[in-house]
Amino acid sequence: MSDALTELHVRLAEISDLNAAGGLLGWDQQTMMPVRAAESRAEQLGTLGKLVHERFTDDAIGRLLDAAKPAPGSSDAALVRVTRRDWKKARRVPSELAAELARAGALGHQAWVEARERADFGAFLPSLRRNVELKLRYVECFDGYDDPYDVLLDDYEEGMTSAEVDALFTELRAGLVPLIAAIAERADAVDASVLHGDFPVEGQRALVRRVVERLGWSADGWRLDDAAHPFATSFGPGDVRLTTRYDPAYVGMALYGAIHEFGHGLYESQVDPALARTPLGEGVSLGVHESQSRLWENVVARGRPFAGWLHGQLREVFPERFGAVGEEAFYRAVNKVQPSLIRVEADEATYGLHIILRFELERAMIAGTVALEDLPEAWNARMRQYLGVEVPNDAVGVLQDVHWSGGDIGYFATYALGNLIAAQLWERARADLPDLDSALAAGDGNALRGWLGEHVHRFGRTYPPRELVLRATGSAIRVEPFLAYLNAKLRPIYGLD
Amino acid sequence: MSDALTELHVRLAEISDLNAAGGLLGWDQQTMMPVRAAESRAEQLGTLGKLVHERFTDDAIGRLLDAAKPAPGSSDAALVRVTRRDWKKARRVPSELAAELARAGALGHQAWVEARERADFGAFLPSLRRNVELKLRYVECFDGYDDPYDVLLDDYEEGMTSAEVDALFTELRAGLVPLIAAIAERADAVDASVLHGDFPVEGQRALVRRVVERLGWSADGWRLDDAAHPFATSFGPGDVRLTTRYDPAYVGMALYGAIHEFGHGLYESQVDPALARTPLGEGVSLGVHESQSRLWENVVARGRPFAGWLHGQLREVFPERFGAVGEEAFYRAVNKVQPSLIRVEADEATYGLHIILRFELERAMIAGTVALEDLPEAWNARMRQYLGVEVPNDAVGVLQDVHWSGGDIGYFATYALGNLIAAQLWERARADLPDLDSALAAGDGNALRGWLGEHVHRFGRTYPPRELVLRATGSAIRVEPFLAYLNAKLRPIYGLD
């Protein structure tokens, strides 16, 4: 290894350690920290973020990248490519603007919490205006893009463009709207009431633990904690942390939430440990990450084979609730489709329309083709048009999501891209693993875990997301497999055709 | 504020934030972290430590200290004094030696764990030899001391000298040996068996929580978790974290352990928040810190008034065990004196002799007047002489403590100094608070907490430990109040005189 490459590794390892420390401060903040520590924790997070930024954007990193000379095709060649990309992007943003974005995001979050409580979009409008202004200034730091929104997208999904997403979403919407309309005609065909009722949290904890352990969670390298807004994170090999939240009146929340986060955690846990403490040692993009969480949550755990096993677990933990409920009824219940107001509570089919709505509004905000004060009206009109739902107030409408408050504009699309990629991976994995259904019917995710490790996880950020998807699925991101999957599952459940 | 002073504050705040992040990595390691993360956590801790050292020993800090010009007598004057002291000390140690000390400590710890398991001092000897050699090289970095051991002591108790400790310990030993001998004659006078038996951990958890809450712990600013080796730590205002461990066969372990850590945590929690994110914003020395833990654990919670309240709590949580046990019997049980092998299990009276033994051996190790291979023999001879106890093997003898394995030589004395300071503070607090006994008899620690906050805690490191003790107690560290306190408590219990 050249001296420059060695020195680059040393510096990146230190930055990775600082990021891990910052990650732990964040995890702790959401799971363990006493409330009175909020202010000092914000200072600590700010200092870590500033230090990482300073050390990463240092001129020396650029010199080392130029001098590194990794062997073509080697892991170090990928390291240099990825680091150069991140370094160039980070260097383009003046530190005052970066600090201003962070500050406006923190203030915006606070304003949003209060505005949402009072369902008062007007109270949030000045913060949103500020965030959009700053994002436009952020976009101006870059060049060579076709659409300003591309700059924002690229932060979450490297190399993805607005035009591509637009084409995918047009096709997706065209497939979803008639399917959802047909299901709406037969809404009573599925009864999900068995999932609602009295589910003591201690029982749910035992159930969730049992399920994730069967999937591959183990106490020697993972944690599972409670959080108000569930997430997964990792601080290095053998340290993956999931969170979930428990609703004592609905058993689906914690169970499917934990399986979702398990998918994220599994991705991080199966990155090649040789990539640890480098920028390559983590999931490659939000879209690919979300494909993992949704594959396990929806495709596996709401699929017929695994749902059978899951039903057996529910019967054991809650015999009085599930004793008289058959596998098939349970399977139908967890796949109920119902247009609703709230994205995070949406089913697999309507979810995409919630995302398309947000993507369209974000593009309009950045293009300046919608006045920000008109957003609630634009939101409500699309909810009516796409989902046939009337929005009673902004708290359950335009104010429902946290993202814009913190300045995260360009993020939403990755959720739907994750669904598309998950369906493509699933198609491929099923072709490669003929016994997959019978394994999942026994709750055994071993083969799928191995397949994902081999084709997706181990590479970390070695390949750009576009190349990784191509290698793993044989094609670019496509809509057709997802629509085929949804139709194949939902049409029989709802007795369509 | 001068520009230099402002800049100094900014830099010290960042270092404080990094220390907090490192502290959280350490807390998490001992309470939450999955075992497989051990290696990556060690890297993260190493990076944080290195970064803090680099940033703190920077030339710029020295220039800012010279240019700061704080108002005499101001809090900033104390800040400059304390920071200059720490900075000078840190700068005297070459970074290679600092790294070598850390490395030898980590390796020594591993060797010690294995040697203790096999009760094989010889297996630990090379590591101990290395640690002592490095400590001697460390001492050589300094000058102006009377005794090389003073350099080590000063790291734990600023300004304390070997000669002073020696004088205090000579007096202490002279008071303890006859008292313990007299008690040994009447060993059967106290029966502690009520504390041993079957105490389900869930009940103990409820008891411990109830007790620390009554003392001042509250979930909005504190945590209480399990740890194999209990400790307390704090990451800033409103974030104090205690740990304890549960022995299902002995109720005293978790209960008194938690009260001990509460004392440490209370100190940190009552430092003036204006000192947060500066080197002044924490406890001033190990001795003063230990005075707080021992004041609450021993003086308060093993004192007659509070023991009465505690007995009521035990009766409520474990009615079948304590229903037929009176307050007085409980009070006597928690004050049983019995020479034993293990320091951390020793009672309040014999504890001091365990410390004196270690202090004498450490001085001899550093002076070169004992050959390291002869340590077990020297240890066992003193155990016989001071406590009348035969050491059956080195695991429960010279290998019992973790300190030397990590290179912590000079630390032990502070435990006994803590006992002395605690007795002095207690004398003073009782004089100032005439209703203290009746408050404690109701489990109410409010007045004492306020008194300690006012006279000790709020200052953080504003005054050197010597000056703080003088201000709070009216005298230097003295032996007499501790011996008077012990005699006043134990002689009646054992029917002496």
Residues of B in contact with A220 (CB under 8 A): 34-36
The token pair at A329 is: 């009824």
Residues of A in contact with B33 (CB under 8 A): 239
- Active-site residue, from A157, A164, A261, A348: A261
pTM across the whole model: 0.95
pLDDT for A497 equals 83
- Tens of pLDDT, residues B221-276: 999 999 988 999 999 999 999 999 999 999 999 999 999 999 999 999 999 999 99
Residue with token string 């000192």: B275
Q: Report the complex ipTM.
A: 0.94
pLDDT for B2 equals 85
The answer to whether the CB of B243 falls within 8 A of the CB of B231 is yes
The topology under which CATH files domain A120-497 is Neurolysin; domain 3 (1.10.1370)
Those residues whose C-beta lies under 8 Å from the C-beta of residue B279, and which sit 6 or more positions away, are: B12, B16, B79, B82, B83, B86, B461
pLDDT for A13 equals 97
Specify the CATH class of B146-497 in words. mainly alpha
Those residues whose C-beta lies under 8 Å from the C-beta of residue B214, and which sit 6 or more positions away, are: B443, B444, B445
The answer to whether the CB of A287 falls within 8 A of the CB of A160 is yes
pLDDT for B103 equals 86
pLDDT for B226 equals 96
B154 has pLDDT over 80: yes
Q: Is A320 tagged catalytic?
A: no
Rounded mean pLDDT of B425-438? 98
For testing the chain A interface, which of B9, B33, B40 should be mutated: the one with the most A CBs within 10 Å? B40
The answer to whether the CB of A57 falls within 8 A of the CB of A90 is yes
Element (H, E) at A153: helix A148-156
Question: Nearest chain B Cα to A37, which residue?
Answer: B238
What CA–CA distance (Å, rounded) separates A27 from A233? 8
Predicted confidence band at B1 (pLDDT cuts at 50, 70, 90)? confident
Instruction: Output the DSSP codes for B162-211.
Output: HHHHHHHHHHHHHHHHHHHHHHHHTGGG---GGGBS---HHHHHHHHHHH
- Tens of pLDDT, residues B293-323: 999 999 999 999 999 999 999 999 999 999 9
State whether residue B234 is helix, strand or coil: strand
A73 Ramachandran zone, left/alpha/beta (phi>0; psi -120 to 50): left
State whether residue A108 is helix, strand or coil: helix
What CA–CA distance (Å, rounded) separates B83 from B65? 8
What CA–CA distance (Å, rounded) separates A211 from A208? 5
Q: Domain coordinates of chain B in residue numbers?
A: 3-145, 146-497
> At B208, phi and psi to the nearest 5?
-60, -45
What CA–CA distance (Å, rounded) separates A488 from A486? 5
Q: Nearest CA of chain B to the CA of A279: how many Å?
A: 15
- What single-letter DSSP state applies at residue A198? -
A270 Ramachandran zone, left/alpha/beta (phi>0; psi -120 to 50): alpha
User: How far are the Cα atoms of A247, A287, A378, B115 from residue B396, in angstroms, in the given order?
Assistant: 50, 57, 75, 12
CA A317 to chain centre: 29
* β-strand pairing of B240-244 with A232-234: unpaired
Residues of A in contact with B14 (CB under 8 A): 47, 50-51
pLDDT for A103 equals 86
pLDDT for A178 equals 94
- Tens of pLDDT, residues B3-39: 999 999 999 999 999 999 999 999 999 999 999 999 8
Rounded mean pLDDT of B137-153? 96
Residues of A in contact with B223 (CB under 8 A): 32, 34
A314-317 — which CB contacts under 8 Å span 24+ positions?
Answer: A314/A207, A314/A251, A317/A203, A317/A204, A317/A206, A317/A207, A317/A210
State whether residue A284 is helix, strand or coil: coil
- Tens of pLDDT, residues B49-97: 999 999 999 999 999 999 999 999 999 999 999 999 999 999 999 988 9
pLDDT for B110 equals 87
Helix axes B413-432, B286-294, angle to 10 degrees: 60
Q: Nearest CA of chain A to the CA of B240: how many Å?
A: 8
State whether residue B225 is helix, strand or coil: strand
User: B-side interface with A, Cβ within 8 Å?
Assistant: 13-14, 17-18, 20-22, 24-25, 28, 32-41, 43-44, 46-48, 50-51, 219-223, 235-240, 276-277
Report, as ranges of residue numbers, the positions in chain A whose pLDDT lies below 50: none
Element (H, E) at B148: helix B148-156
Nearest CA-CA partner of A229 in A350, A113, A380, A103: A113
Q: Nearest CA of chain A to the CA of B119: how many Å?
A: 28
